[in-house]
Amino acid sequence: MTGTVLATKAEAVLASQLVLRHRTPRLAGCLVLVVTALWFARSKADATVLPDSRTVLLIAGTLAAVAGSRLVAPGGALTCAYRVAGPWWMVPVGRTIGSLLVTLPLVCVGVLVLGAPVASLSGLCNLAIVAVTYTAVTTTCVLGCTPMLGSSAAATLGLAATWLGGIPPSAVHLALAKWSVVQGPAVLLWNLLPLNWRAARLIAQPGYSDSLVLLIWLLLGVGGGAWAIGAAHRAQRPATEILP
């Protein structure tokens, strides 16, 4: 057990380095700080302009999508994942933890700066817990897509889900009212995916159903990431190596 814990810590350290050494997560972090500062300055200048939880979730999702796409990116990061000897969950869990060590400080800054003026202490704690959970879920889901899609496509998919995911299912239903063929599947998909409208509802109205959906997707992200790493490895191995 001690060896597994140490190996997981090593994966977390590697993940932190993978995120920090790439310019895209650094640029995203700078953008988040600028957006946070602008929101704060605007709310100070105009008391009627108040940021809400959706702003914090956009920050969390953006950071998670960009950082998560670097954890098992094709190349050195994915090759190192092939060579890890340990439980199937070690690489996705360890690298998710390492990514969170980099992204969560920025998310917490957003929670404190944007949430403190409009939330009580209990509301601020609830906002922080949901934001951290949403960051972890988005990170694992993007990680699971990266070995098959590539880092750029996975990051784009994660960013699209983050920026469009604030639209509630009722709005999707109304927007597609003239296209009944796609209306039902689109609304069903919107209700199943871990989009930030669900996290925003969980902040406003804490409940077990939204928490359970996010937890399920967190586990699916870990399992899907482990499967995708193994599938990518098998696809790259020569046929002669996998014959009995």
Where exactly are the structural domains of the chain? 2-238
Judge whether 145 and 154 are in contact, CB under 8 Å: yes
pLDDT category of residue 116 using cuts at 50, 70 and 90: low
d(CA 59, CA 56): 5
pLDDT given for residue 223 in this prediction: 94
Is 0.85 surpassed by the pTM of this model?
Answer: yes
pLDDT given for residue 49 in this prediction: 44
Task: List the one residue out of 87, 110, 45, 69 whose CA is nearest residue 226.
Answer: 87
d(CA 104, CA 57): 12
Task: List the one residue out of 143, 151, 128 whose CA is nearest residue 60.
Answer: 128
pLDDT category of residue 232 using cuts at 50, 70 and 90: confident
- Tell whether the model's pLDDT for residue 146 goes beyond 80: yes
pLDDT given for residue 71 in this prediction: 93
Across the chain, mean pLDDT equals: 84
- Tell whether the model's pLDDT for residue 1 goes beyond 70: no
Angle between helices 23-45 and 2-20 (to 10 degrees): 70
The most confident of the ranges 44-48, 134-138, 205-209, 229-233 is 134-138
Token pair in block for residue 13:
């350290």
Determine the longest span between alpha carbons in the chain, in angstroms: 71
**φ/ψ of residue 233, rounded to 5:** -65, -45
Q: How far apart are the first and last CA of the chain?
A: 32
Summarised one tens digit per residue, pLDDT across range 57-99 is 888 999 899 999 999 998 888 888 888 878 889 999 999 999 9
Share of the chain above pLDDT 90, in %: 37
Other residues' Cβ atoms within 10 Å of the Cβ of residue 88? 15
pLDDT given for residue 25 in this prediction: 72
d(CA 26, CA 188): 35
Task: List the one residue out of 147, 9, 130 whose CA is nearest residue 73.
Answer: 147
- Tell whether the model's pLDDT for residue 227 goes beyond 80: yes
Judge whether 185 and 193 are in contact, CB under 8 Å: no
Token pair in block for residue 53:
């939880």
- Tell whether the model's pLDDT for residue 192 goes beyond 90: yes
d(CA 7, CA 144): 20
Task: List the one residue out of 131, 137, 135, 138 whose CA is nearest residue 114.
Answer: 131
pLDDT category of residue 45 using cuts at 50, 70 and 90: low
- Tell whether the model's pLDDT for residue 121 goes beyond 90: no
Q: What is the mean pLDDT of residues 194-206?
A: 89
Judge whether 133 and 163 are in contact, CB under 8 Å: no
